[in-house]
């Protein structure tokens, strides 16, 4: 039987509705690609991504509640995207409350490292 694959929750800045939000949603997809390629034994979860596509900023409370439910099913949290947003801080704090390891890639900046 194969080893259990770890599940990591990906936290990335989103921001309010508008052009910056669109750019961040495109950027997180590049981060996801880098994470998948760079971490063979890990599956990545971004439960908030479809919520951001269908809900507006006024529905953030519902999105955060559901995201925390997804986070509770993960083995760790990965921080990426160059800066810690208030939403990410809440996600990180919840992960710490749950006793999950935090993998911090914020020092890489807005974009993920280049894939060779």
Q: Structural domain boundaries of the chain?
A: 6-108
Asked if 42 contacts 8 with a C-beta cutoff of 8 angstroms, the reply is yes
Question: What pLDDT does 2 receive?
Answer: 63
CATH architecture of residue range(s) 6-108: 3-Layer(aba) Sandwich (3.40)
pTM exceeds 0.85 for this model: yes
In the chain (116 residues long), the average pLDDT of successive 10-residue segments reads 86 88 93 96 94 81 91 98 95 98 98 89
């Amino acid at each position: 039987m194969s080893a259990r694959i770890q599940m990591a929750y990906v936290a990335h800045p989103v921001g309010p509705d508008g052009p910056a939000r669109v750019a961040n949603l495109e950027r997180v997809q590049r981060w996801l690609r880098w994470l998948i390629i760079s971490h063979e034994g890990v599956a990545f979860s971004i439960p908030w991504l479809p919520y951001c596509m269908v809900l507006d900023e006024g529905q953030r409370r519902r999105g955060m509640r559901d995201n925390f439910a997804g986070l509770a099913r993960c083995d760790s949290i990965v921080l990426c995207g160059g800066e810690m947003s208030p939403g990410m801080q809440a996600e990180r704090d919840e992960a710490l409350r749950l006793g999950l390891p935090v993998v911090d890639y914020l020092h890489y900046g807005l974009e993920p490292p280049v894939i060779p």
